[in-house]
Amino acid sequence: MNGAALKADTQDIVVDEVFPHAPETIWKALTSGDLIARWLMAPTGFEAIEGTHFTYQTTPSGEWDGVIRCQVLQVIPNQRLAYAWKGGHAANSGYGSPLDTVVTWVLTKVESGTRVRLVHSGFVLPKNDVAYQNMSNGWKKVVRNLDAVVSEQDGTKSLH
């Protein structure tokens, strides 16, 4: 489906929750532009048709304009929706660095409603950078690592 998903050195974010609603209702929230805008962000050009390109505007960083470029990869109504999620710029590190990922939604009918499973796959972890890896574990830890990260980043060109 996507090269990034096959690389061994990438990681996924998985969020898996049961919602007390029918798959059809949740599908509507995942695939109607007006509704997406109310819980995620306002998409530009989204249509639940394979091949469609669309974008999200997020917070810019350095040379990156903050635009997330997406393309619908798979649509199985009421069951499965996948789209490419790309952004970032090579001049950035951490937030704003090159991002080539895939977002997949899987809906499964269960007794109490629908199991919603989000898999955001293809994260390339910064190598040899323990401080950054630790940051994934929560913001309290981030604070403890600030000294190292600030002194490391303070001298880089991305700041100027």
Q: How far apart are CA 68 and CA 102, in angstroms?
A: 12
Q: Which residues bind another protein (CB under 8 A)?
A: 11, 13, 15, 17, 19, 21-22, 25-26, 28-29, 35, 38-41, 57-62, 88, 92, 94-97, 99, 101, 116, 118, 120, 123, 125-126, 132-133, 135-137, 139-140, 142-143, 146-147, 149-150, 153-154, 158-159
Question: What minimum distance in Å lies between the beta carbon of 71 and another protein?
Answer: 18
62 touches 96 (CB < 8 A): yes
Compare residues 22 and 51 and give the one whose CB is closer to another protein.
22
| DSSP-derived pairing of the beta strands 10-19 and 53-57 | unpaired
Question: What minimum distance in Å lies between the beta carbon of 47 and another protein?
Answer: 20
Question: What minimum distance in Å lies between the beta carbon of 96 and another protein?
Answer: 6
Q: How far apart are CA 84 and CA 99, in angstroms?
A: 10
Q: What share of the chain is helix, strand, coil (3-state, %, to 5)?
A: 30, 40, 35
Question: What minimum distance in Å lies between the beta carbon of 49 and another protein?
Answer: 22
Helix/strand/coil for 86: strand
Compare residues 51 and 159 and give the one whose CB is closer to another protein.
159
Compare residues 51 and 154 and give the one whose CB is closer to another protein.
154
70 touches 49 (CB < 8 A): no
